[in-house]
Structure 1
């Protein structure tokens, strides 16, 4: 058997966004099914490395931060599967000296790849299917694995130290969006929703350090006193928090995908992006999306009146939250 058909040392270059990285995890699981005896390592951003520890195959998968790609020049890998479309991702793998370099063509990077594969038309499939399409073209017989992440016991213990001890439903709120303000439901609507949800359970605000500005605006508008864990969790602790939540209401963000993969009931608010492409992989996740004549536009900031997000009312989100919390 040739190494090209049955590679024994594979490096997977993961996407740079958290949500995309979560949607790419079925590729890792599928590769382990296809090549059960192979070493499969992952090149992933440092701040997302904890994501790999949530896989059921964590003991067989190693997170390899990008800055250490130079270490692979020793000949450790024969094959690299490059999931991002960027020139830089292909350039890093080429510099690492990995003999077999597989990825979609485009972005003037085909000369860096030994197998530049035809890229599907833009917006022609979901992001998860996009990654699966690349893996299948690279490795005939590939089938994506099902995605179910598990928060480690230590992560759950860390989360429980942060969360309220009351025996009431825990409702998480994700009001940020690292991609840009266009994805954000208005802060005043989140504040009003939080006040209403405060009567149903304990509300917990979640987000990255970069969400501090929005956090302060929401807290300033809210009449209640929700617990804020903004900037207080790494990936694994956040997974532990999600494992304890009864519901997570969020914009279209990376943590949305993480929560859905953990199995947390999710209500996702979509506007400038397309649910057909980036909705959570969990079929039980609820998407609220009204669209607009200009949506999806994929813009980071709205040049108009944010109509795609303001079309979502507090009443309908509250109604869906009650349904999720109290109906089987």
Structure 2
């Protein structure tokens, strides 16, 4: 059986968008065995993808070279006798371990002039392939071959027993409609809907008998506490109280997810949850939530998208003017079965 090593990206959303690539690789006639080289924190994502045989920890922090350590990792990987490596990040560093492992076919986009490190080098037409999920999936095809469309939506699996264990540990009950808010965004504050808006939406949904849970990392705890205070303690703040694995289990229970453009947005879409995705400084033309049950809400201001971490004009209108009433309208449309 052929063996393929996939070098994974570092961001949660990018890891989720790699799943259709894995599915296409696995669907080859020879049904190869697929291992993923990924940061330890993202292992849980790939373990929820049935195409993956094993996850190998990538021990290097963002920006670290550690050339000798990468050589040693490559020699360890050589023992597995992989037939192909597919390198998803565009950095030179990410191509080093497959090169040191002497994997015969090393596939990836040109990136940082990686000729030699990669020997199946692809050029990317960004206009023809605007979506990140398409760019990843394209690497499963022969060089120069077109991408079969549509690319399937990413999917993550949930184990009911493990989910129940998560609920028990957190003291949660799965009853009634649950609205999950994801108020964080790792990239920066320009992608975050204001806490006051989340709070107003929480009060409105509570009036519709929703329970509201706030989900995110420890970095999101401060904004989550602002939401709780402004919403008269209606939401339950779970930010920083779950591992990524547990956060996935919690999100999988949602009747509704309202989220910034973030990794958890992609997780919610891949779990098939109804999603209202809030876009300001970023663009859904590149990394939208990939689900027929997702709706994108944005204002299309002349200054948006700017792709900045902080509003360069200081007014932050792309998010401030995106009112809770507008978002509540989209929630209602989702409830009526509308699709974006």
**TM-score, normalised by the number of residues in structure 2:** 0.86
Query: 2:154 is matched with which residue?
Result: 147
Structure 1 stretches of 5 or more lacking a match?
Answer: 1-6
Structure with larger RCO (C-alpha < 8 A, sep 6+): 1
- Report the alpha carbon displacement of residue 301 of structure 1 after superposing the two structures with TM: 1.6
Q: 1:262 to 1:179 in 2, by over 3 A?
A: same
Matched, 1:315 2:322: no
Write out aligned runs for 1:65-84 (5 A): 65-67=57-59, 69-70=73-74, 71-84=76-89
- Asked whether 1:128 is paired with 2:153, we answer no
Q: Which residue of 1 aligns with 2:62?
A: none
Asked whether 1:62 is paired with 2:54, we answer yes
| SS of 1:291 mapped into structure 2 | coil
Q: Which of 6, 11, 22 is equivalent to 1:12? A: 6
What are the residue-to-residue correspondences of 1:185-204 with 2, within 5 Å? 185-200=193-208, 201-204=210-213
Counterpart for residue 181 of structure 2: 173
Q: Does the CA contact (< 8 Å) of 1:198 and 1:224 recur in 2?
A: no
Partner of 2:66: none
For each residue in 1:265-315, what CA deviation from the matched residue of structure 2 results, as whole angstroms up to 9, or x when unmatched? Answer: 100001111112111111220110112212222112211121222231111
Task: Identify which of 6, 14, 27 aligns with 1:33.
Answer: 27
Q: Secondary structure at the match of 2:116?
A: helix
Paired residue secondary structure (1:173): strand
Query: Once structures 1 and 2 are overlaid, which stretch shifts more, 296-305 or 246-255?
Result: 296-305
Task: Provide the rounded CA distance (Å) in 2 between the counterparts of 1:238 and 1:204.
Answer: 11
Residues 115 and 121 of structure 2 are in contact (CA less than 8 Å); yes or no, is this contact kept in structure 1?
A: yes
Q: 2:224 aligns with which of 215, 226, 243?
A: 215
- Please name the residue that 2:167 is paired with: 160
Q: After the TM superposition, which of the residue ranges 310-319 and 70-79 deviates more from structure 2?
A: 70-79
Once residues 261 and 128 of structure 2 are traced to their aligned partners in structure 1, the CA distance between those partners, rounded to angstroms, is 17
Q: What's the TM-score, normalizing by structure 1?
A: 0.89
Q: Which moved more, 1:290-299 or 1:273-282?
A: 290-299
State the aligned residue count. 320
Question: C-alpha displacement at 1:138, in angstroms?
Answer: 4.5
Q: Which piece of structure 1 moves more, 207-216 or 174-183?
A: 207-216
Across the aligned residues of Structure 1 and Structure 2, the Cα RMSD in angstroms comes to 2.4
Moved more, 275-284 or 104-113: 104-113
Question: What's the offset of the Cα at 1:75?
Answer: 4.9
Q: 1: distance between equivalents of 2:96 and 2:177?
A: 48
User: What is the alpha-carbon distance in structure 1 between the residues aligned to residue 237 and residue 86 of structure 2?
Assistant: 39
What is the distance in 1 between the residues matched to 2:108 and 2:22?
15
Query: Which of 147-156 and 297-306 deviates more?
Result: 147-156
Q: Distance in 2 between matches of 1:123 and 1:140?
A: 13
The answer to whether residue 250 in structure 2 is matched with residue 256 in structure 1 is no
**Unmatched 5+ stretches in structure 2:** 60-71
Q: Is the 8 A contact 1:69 1:93 kept in 2?
A: no
Cα distance, 1:140 vs. partner?
5.5
Indicate how the Cα distance of structure 1 residues 124 and 57 shifts in structure 2: closer, same or farther if over 3 A, else same: closer
Contact 2:215 2:238 (C-alpha < 8 Å) held by counterparts: yes
Structure 2 residue 104 is matched with structure 1 residue 99? yes
Q: Is residue 34–residue 141 contact of structure 1 (8 Å, CA) maintained in 2?
A: no
